[in-house]
Structure 1
Amino acid sequence: MDANTKSLLIIWHSRTHAAKQAAQAAFDAACKIRQELGQQDQILMLYASEVRLEQLLQADAYLFCAPENLASLSGAMKEFFDRFYYDLLGNIEGRPYSAIITAGSDGQGALRQLQRICTGWRLNEKVVPIILNTASQTKEEILAPKTLTAEQLAQAAEVGSTLYAWL
């Protein structure tokens, strides 16, 4: 990557595919804007456990997509933050970020947890995070694979395209 090339890193975790669909919608929208602008910027969408420290250090902006589990970030997304927190502390201040939380009813607990971590990293919340509610209340609904609505996918796309525009 040359000095003029920017990088958006979309990091996701999902068990029931809702957060993955949101990440994909954001990725696709960012790629569309990049193409319309004729840019060569890098847009990566990576599963939380596959992210490497170098990718985080090279990224100019971050989008975190994760489900809320039991009023907290999913364990795999929390493990992502735990794995890199101290390595990034003091090294990524001011970079833009946003978040998409998928939740069965609330999502606020996971969002607050993610925002507190990003505040510790001194990231700049450039795009207001969103919570996509899947209205899953029973055990069967919670564990079932999810399909986000067209409106929810459009909201996720808006986050992705707007965050990319900040690069």
Structure 2
Amino acid sequence: MSPREVRRLLIVHHTASPALQALFEAVRDGAATDEVEGVEVVARAALRATAVDVFEADGVLLGTPANIGYMSGALKHFFDTVYYPCLEETRRLPYGLYVHGNDDTTGAVRAVESIAGGLGWERVRPPVTVTGAPGKDDLAACWELGATLAATLSPA
């Protein structure tokens, strides 16, 4: 955890559809809720996020579609880019995950959790998984995921 007075939550996402856009917005809104103080929310597209972004973060929230039973290539690229530079310095970093799929999200969740586990990151709560069009409960679960991760990081 950073000694900074304001903590940083990094949202790394691959938002490739209207459904994922809705989930991303709900997660971001939850993370930025006025109910949680002292947390700055920074969002980066998975193809733009770097190891420096991770080093500067006190927690990470990951978002991906489930593509052919796996995470998106963009999120995989993010992990490929940051894995070894971050391997030792980001152990115990709190993280959360949301996944959207048309049919099944199991393989994508398993893949992300395997890599995050290899990095030594600590999952704050079970992933939010959504299949098909997101409903009101799905958006609420994403909002709660963002708010929970931000509250975990809050110095207040």
TM-score (norm 2): 0.91
Gaps of 5+ in 1: 135-146
- 1-structure distance, mates of 2:99, 2:127: 8
Q: Could you say which residue in structure 1 is the equivalent of 2:136?
A: 150
Q: Partner of 1:127: helix, strand, or coil? A: coil
Q: Could you say which residue in structure 1 is the equivalent of 2:103?
A: 105
Q: Could you say which residue in structure 2 is the equivalent of 1:21?
A: 22
**Following TM superposition, where does structure 1 have runs of at least 4 consecutive aligned residues deviating by more than 6 angstroms?**
none
**In structure 2, what residue type is equivalent to 1:164?**
A
> Which of 33, 42, 45 pairs up with 1:44?
42
Structure with higher Rg: it is 1
- 2-structure distance, mates of 1:17, 1:65: 13
2:46 is equivalent to residue 60 of structure 1: no
> Which of 71, 75, 97 pairs up with 2:69?
71
- 2-structure distance, mates of 1:36, 1:100: 21
Q: Partner of 1:14: helix, strand, or coil? A: coil
- 2-structure distance, mates of 1:48, 1:150: 26
Q: Which moved more, 1:47-56 or 1:65-74?
A: 47-56
Q: Could you say which residue in structure 2 is the equivalent of 1:139?
A: none
Q: Could you say which residue in structure 2 is the equivalent of 1:159?
A: 145
Judge conservation of contact 2:8–2:41 (CA < 8 Å) in 1: yes
> Which of 82, 87, 90 pairs up with 1:89?
87
- 2-structure distance, mates of 1:83, 1:76: 11
Report how far residue 2 of structure 1 moved. 7.3
Judge conservation of contact 2:5–2:38 (CA < 8 Å) in 1: no
Q: Please, what is the CA RMSD of the aligned residues?
A: 1.6
Instruction: Work out the percentage of aligned pairs sharing the same amino acid.
Output: 28
Could you give the per-residue CA deviations for residues 41-71 of structure 1, whole angstroms, max 9, x where no partner exists? 2111211112132211010111100000000
- 1-structure distance, mates of 2:60, 2:82: 14
- 1-structure distance, mates of 2:62, 2:56: 16
Gaps of 5+ in 2: none
TM-score (norm 1): 0.85
Q: Partner of 1:113: helix, strand, or coil? A: helix
Q: Could you say which residue in structure 2 is the equivalent of 1:114?
A: 112
Judge conservation of contact 1:66–1:102 (CA < 8 Å) in 2: yes
**In structure 2, what residue type is equivalent to 1:154?**
A
Paired positions, count: 152
- 1-structure distance, mates of 2:26, 2:52: 25
User: Structure 1 residues 87, 17: CA separation in 2 closer, same or farther (over 3 Å shift)?
Assistant: farther
Could you give the per-residue CA deviations for residues 75-102 of structure 1, whole angstroms, max 9, x where no partner exists? 1111111111111111101111110010
Q: Which moved more, 1:44-53 or 1:99-108?
A: 44-53
Q: Partner of 1:50: helix, strand, or coil? A: coil
